[in-house]
Amino acid sequence: MAEYVLNNRYRVLAQIAGGGMAVVYKAHDTVLNRVVAVKVLRDTFAQDVDFRARFQREAQAAANLTHPNIVTVYDYGQDGPQSYIVMEYVEGRDLKAVIRGEGPLPLDRATDLMVQACAALGAAHRAGLVHCDVKPQNILVTNDGRVKVTDFGIARAMSASVPQNVETVWGTPHYFSPEQAAGEPPTPASDVYSLGVVLYEMLAGRVPFDAPDHTALALQHMQDQPPPLTALNPAVPIQIEQIVNKALAKDPANRYRTADQLGRALLDYRRATSQATSYQRAVPAPTGSTTVAATPARSPAAAPAVSSGTDWLGWMLGTLAFVAVVGLIPLFVLVWRAYSQPISAPTMPLSNPTVTPVGGATNTPVFGSEVLVPNLIGRTQPEAEQLATKNGLIVSVGAGRFDPKVPAGSVVAQNPIVGKKVAKGSTIEIALSQGPKVSAATNLINTIYEADVPALDPYGWDIRLVEEYNSQEPYHKVLAQDPAPGFQLAAGQPFTLTVSGGTTVTLGVNIDNQIWLDAANLPRDQVKRGEQLDVTLLWRGQRRINTPYTVFVHFVGPNGRIVTQIDSEPPQPTTSWPVSMTISDPYALEIPLDAAPGVYQLRVGLYPTGQPNDRLPISDAGKTSADNNSRILIKEITVQP
């Protein structure tokens, strides 16, 4: 595809990656004059009309994800038979290449990369999206250490394109969750499992499970426990091993529910360890090392004189120690003889003869040959019984379960699990789905999200959070809900809560691919003439900045004219901003006494110091907008009479 121009716009420069479903090219956007990454679907999938439509919908959903750690989706199109998606071009390597070249990674670096990946997946989970194919190859690491997660669209479109009666697993076998291995639909907890595998690989230098074929890998994910992380890398603290083990729990209910929860666990660990600055007990140094005495050194004058005579006290103590050691020898011999004698067990009459397996570990009877437990999930009770009988097994029906994804009367769980070896004639206990649990929507208005939403877990609703700037209400107070209280809502259905974002205006603006304007703290959005309007801008450098930039803050009237303006370098000059560290930049604007009542706009931007006409362009306006591609809208402000 060299020297080819897609849709008369994207000039292909070079192939940078390729997979089973698509090929990724570095390209030049001739309209916006920028470098982009173009993912072109392979012909097998591009010719499938239904798949293209699904992929387009997923690409649109991914394009709505705005987060610093998510690769931005710019465009989707068709050029003849070729379907493509245009994304942000990321300079760097994928995490798999980092692990291959540097693994195992140091703890600080591994947790830093994982926290960023969790932030990306957490944003997707809050938006109702599941990645489905989390793996190091889909986690890009820029040259300055920033994580960018990609490929939110293809895996979901692929999984949706498979007929329900076909038992196909989508994802990458080394990283997919036990429920994905069993053919069940993925959830946010499935992404958490995959993140756990990635964190394990970063710290151990290898994946927890490996096998020659996909079936064996699937069985390992469903049945086996990974080798202890601390055994492979003794430098890993036990607390981190516990976090990884929780992420790798077989049952999704025992994992972190979303990537945000996993990220918070890692941040809590880092915060706790960074605060461990109290007095530490001295550790004896190994033989041969130099030690420093804990007590103050005494001057030579104060030191006692060394006697040159016989040290009788030393002789006496040495003799006592020798006698004590020699006296232990008979005791050791007696203990050895006592425990080396065979223990004669009393003979017990056996009511029924049993066959003991080789190794003599158990008294479990053997009913002929062993068989593998078949997959009964999703089948009706008669179908499950027929399949079990065909394999020489028996079915018993246990307590039913509510499940929004499995039709009522079909198998929702089984014990033993799929693929386990059992004796012929064994019993498989199944649980039949009772369909989605339907409950009346709880009234959460005026409650605090963190305090009250966890109580909704038993209902199984899909809780979605929408933050709204509100300077009058406490942070995350529920302002509205959909559906209304009392509405009969089935498990799995969306329950949207609009909550107060407090005084923080979330922005997520990418400025010239150099600086992020993450948010602004705005204590109020209504002022009177003559009052002061305070705003604090929260910046973050994407890479090392060598140019001093000046911030301009404009208070723009209804007629488009600037009423009040501040041009100032931030308190910490841009040339000294540490990469990825949040910079707090406060401003106070005086509202003129003659300002007419009405709705004004608070806008900001940057320009090289001394060059006010060369404003930095906006690469991505995030959750707001920018006029002239350079002046960012923070919020509309009401000036009262």
Give the range among 356-360, 432-436, 520-524 with minimum mean pLDDT.
356-360
Q: pLDDT tier at 323 (50, 70, 90 boundaries)?
A: low
Question: The tokens 């981190």 sit on which residue?
Answer: 240
Closest CA to 110 of 257, 236, 260: 236
* pLDDT for residue 361: 34
Per-residue b or e along 183-203, where b marks 16 or more CB atoms closer than 10 Å to that residue's CB? bbebbbbbbbbbbbbbbbbbb
Other Cβ atoms within 10 Å of 119 Cβ, number: 19
* pLDDT for residue 490: 84
Is the pLDDT confidence value at 317 over 70? Answer: no
* pLDDT for residue 321: 64
Active-site positions read 133
pLDDT digits (tens, 9 = 90+) for 1-31: 446 788 889 998 888 877 667 788 899 998 8
Q: What letter represents residue 275's amino acid? A: Q
Under 8 Å between Cβ of 74 and 3: no
d(CA 291, CA 311): 27
Q: What is the mean pLDDT of residues 566-575?
A: 93
Q: Which has more confidence, 273 or 498?
A: 498
Q: Which has more confidence, 432 or 57?
A: 432
Is the pLDDT confidence value at 362 over 70? Answer: no
Kindly tell me the burial class for residue 323, based on how many C-beta atoms sit within 10 Å of its own C-beta (0-12, 13-18, 19 or more): exposed
pTM, 2 dp? 0.46
User: What does CATH list as the number for 93-273?
Assistant: 1.10.510.10
Closest CA to 256 of 190, 302, 315, 300: 190
Distance (Å) of CA 290 to CA 75, 284, 297: 64, 10, 15
pLDDT digits (tens, 9 = 90+) for 450-499: 787 777 877 878 888 888 888 888 888 999 999 999 898 887 788 999 98
Tell me yes or no: is domain 370-431 CATH 3.30.10.20.
Answer: yes
Q: What is the mean pLDDT of residues 604-631?
A: 93
- 635 Cβ contact list (under 8 Å, min separation 6): 469, 505, 520, 522, 525, 601, 602
User: If you classify domain 1-89 with CATH, what class do you get?
Assistant: alpha beta
Is the pLDDT confidence value at 314 over 80? Answer: no
Is the pLDDT confidence value at 159 over 90? Answer: no
Under 8 Å between Cβ of 94 and 139: yes
In 137-268, the DSSP E strands lie at 139-142, 147-149
Q: pLDDT tier at 438 (50, 70, 90 boundaries)?
A: confident
Q: pLDDT tier at 348 (50, 70, 90 boundaries)?
A: very low
Q: What is the mean pLDDT of residues 273-283?
A: 47
pLDDT digits (tens, 9 = 90+) for 249-260: 999 999 999 999
Q: Where are the domains of the chain?
A: 1-89, 93-273, 370-431, 438-500, 506-640
Other Cβ atoms within 10 Å of 627 Cβ, number: 14
Q: pLDDT tier at 305 (50, 70, 90 boundaries)?
A: very low
Closest CA to 252 of 181, 188, 196, 209: 188
Closest CA to 597 of 634, 560, 557, 566: 557
| Highest averaged pLDDT of the listed ranges 172-176, 210-214, 316-320, 548-552 | 548-552
Query: DSSP of 434-487, one letter per residue?
Result: ----EEEPP--TTSBHHHHGGGGGGGT-EEEEEEE--SSS-TTBEEEEESPTT-
Under 8 Å between Cβ of 25 and 42: no
Q: What CATH fold (topology level) applies to the domain 438-500?
A: Trypsin Inhibitor V; Chain A (3.30.10)
pLDDT digits (tens, 9 = 90+) for 83-132: 888 999 998 889 998 998 888 999 999 999 999 999 999 998 888 888 88
* pLDDT for residue 311: 54
Q: What is the mean pLDDT of residues 544-570?
A: 94
Is the pLDDT confidence value at 295 over 50? Answer: no
- Both tokens of 313, joined, read 């006290």
- 32 Cβ contact list (under 8 Å, min separation 6): none
d(CA 324, CA 284): 26
Q: pLDDT tier at 372 (50, 70, 90 boundaries)?
A: confident
Kindly tell me the burial class for residue 8, based on how many C-beta atoms sit within 10 Å of its own C-beta (0-12, 13-18, 19 or more): exposed
pLDDT digits (tens, 9 = 90+) for 508-533: 899 999 999 999 999 999 999 999 99
* pLDDT for residue 89: 92
Do 93-273 and 438-500 fold alike per CATH? no
* pLDDT for residue 435: 79
Q: What letter represents residue 597's amino acid? A: P
Q: What is the mean pLDDT of residues 260-264?
A: 94
The separation between CA 629 and the C-alpha centre of its own chain, rounded to angstroms, equals 33
User: What does CATH list as the number for 506-640?
Assistant: 2.60.40.1930
Q: What letter represents residue 418's amino acid? A: V
Q: pLDDT tier at 320 (50, 70, 90 boundaries)?
A: low
Q: pLDDT tier at 370 (50, 70, 90 boundaries)?
A: confident
3-state secondary structure 208-244: CCCCCCHHHHHHHHHHCCCCCHHHHCCCCCHHHHHHH
What order do you get walking across the sheet with 411-415 strand by strand? 394-397, 427-432, 411-415
- Both tokens of 316, joined, read 């006496």
Q: Which has more confidence, 273 or 140?
A: 140
* pLDDT for residue 313: 53
Q: What is the mean pLDDT of residues 572-577?
A: 93
Q: Which has more confidence, 231 or 123?
A: 123
Is the pLDDT confidence value at 276 over 70? Answer: no
Closest CA to 103 of 235, 201, 197, 195: 201
Greatest CA separation for the chain? 106
* pLDDT for residue 553: 97
